[in-house]
Amino acid sequence: MGKKRKIINDPVFGFINIPNDFIYKIIQHPFLQRLNRIRQLGLAPFVYPGAQHTRFHHSIGAMYLMDEALKTLKEKGHEISKEETDGALAAILLHDIGHGPFSHVLEDALVTNVHHETLSLLLMEQMNVEWEGQLQTAIDIFTNSYPKRFLHRLVSGQLDVDRLDYLRRDSFFTGVVEGNTGSARIIKMLDVKDDKLVVESKGIYSIENFLMSRRLMYWQVYLHKTAVAAEKMMVNVLRRAKELSMNGEKLFASPALSYFLSQESAIGDFENNGEALHHFVNLDDNDIWCALKVWCSHSDTVLSILSDGMINRKLFKIEIAEKKSDPEKVSGQIASYMKKFGLTAHEASYFISSDMLTTDMYNEEDDSIDIIYKNGEVKDISKASDMLNIELLSKKVKKYYFAYLRD
């Protein structure tokens, strides 16, 4: 008993205990430590300068909430063994390790054929080989192949601890108070019925608040138009860098970034601890920023203008509308860049981006948020809530954007 307990001081939840050596060993692993060098909100600091928290930060918070949720369920008489507890804590700690820098940017520009969740699983499997099977329960929970399905729902579901942490944390660091969900109350209201997570009926208002917060955070933070403009600009600069690299241009880049710029990686390059996986775990936000600083003075007009825009916050102008951009407007914009910078139409097209933005807030088909009443009856939140806007909350909102370099 003489061991010192390990504690992390978290600005959102206060002191967080690291429950045991196994969990500490995961936190210390290079795959998880890498998340210290990746911002949780990517390019949102262009809008909310306080949003400097990392994916590591978020993973620790989600682990804390998982621990609280499991304690609540045990208190309510559900059998959860030490192995299952460790498995669930490990699964939530590792759920984001497959994210690259500016996660969605990377999926649109560099690692286009492999989804981050697939990479998370490959990295977990790699660790499991290193640790001779110690992560098998975590992997089974993560992939929803563990018999107690409710454990997977806590990792990934409508009301998972991942969402409960990031809404609170992102709200805290952006200063957008509307996102501040009552995660502690929601967790205290959790229960399990027929192997499904349910929420006690007295927690219904907390759930309504959670759904509202999620909607507000989408439009105020995750899909904030300036953050979207920055993201589209970042995608275009990396696509241009990749095009130049694939055509034999030797660009300044770290070995990890260079690897992904100079080839199209497929899932096979990552599997079985492949070369792509080795480079991927060495890639973080710093590789990209470092390259952009150097590319600002590159002779390629497109690469230098876009890099300078990212470094010095000269971001794309963005218009959001209910319908698609007029093709004539788009071609007019391209023509003006061709003339101004002496570019081909293909090169000038890097100075614009247009597509659709969608939110997918609450979808009953995914897996419902179920409310349980004192008499044992279970109802989906959309039936149980007397707030009409559950219907609105579940509506998929589609908007179109047109982003372009300011003249």
Task: Kindly report the number of other CB atoms within 10 A of residue 24's CB atom.
Answer: 12
Which residue, chain included where needed, has tokens 């010192």? 4
Q: Report the C-alpha gap between 221 and 249 in whole angstroms.
A: 37
Q: Report the C-alpha gap between 45 and 43 in whole angstroms.
A: 5
pLDDT at 214 over 50: yes
pLDDT at 393 over 70: no
CA dihedral 237, 239, 240, 246 (to 10 degrees): 140
Q: What are the distances in angstroms from CA 316 to CA 57, 183, 321, 353?
A: 30, 36, 16, 9
Q: Report the C-alpha gap between 51 and 224 in whole angstroms.
A: 13
Q: For residue 382, what are the contacts with CB-CB under 8 A and spacing of at least 6? A: 362, 364, 368, 390, 391, 394
- Give the global pTM: 0.94
Q: For residue 207, what are the contacts with CB-CB under 8 A and spacing of at least 6? A: 159, 186, 199, 369, 371, 381, 385
How high is the pLDDT of residue 387? 65
pLDDT range class, residue 391, cuts 50, 70, 90? low
Q: What is the mean pLDDT of the chain?
A: 93
pLDDT at 1 over 60: no
Q: Which domains does the chain have, with CATH numbers?
A: 15-223+368-396 (1.10.3210.10), 225-266+284-358 (1.20.1250.30)
How high is the pLDDT of residue 404? 97
Cα atoms in the Cβ-side hemisphere of radius 13 Å centred on 239: 18
**Highest mean predicted confidence (pLDDT) among 1-15, 201-215, 340-354:** 340-354
Q: Encode pLDDT of 320-375 as tens digits.
A: 999 998 999 999 999 999 999 999 999 999 999 998 887 765 555 556 789 999 99
Q: Residue 384, SS3?
A: helix
How does DSSP assign 126-193, residue by residue? Answer: HHHHHTTTTTHHHHHHHTT-SS-HHHHHHHSSTT-HHHHHHHHHHHHHHT-GGG---HHHHHHTEEEE
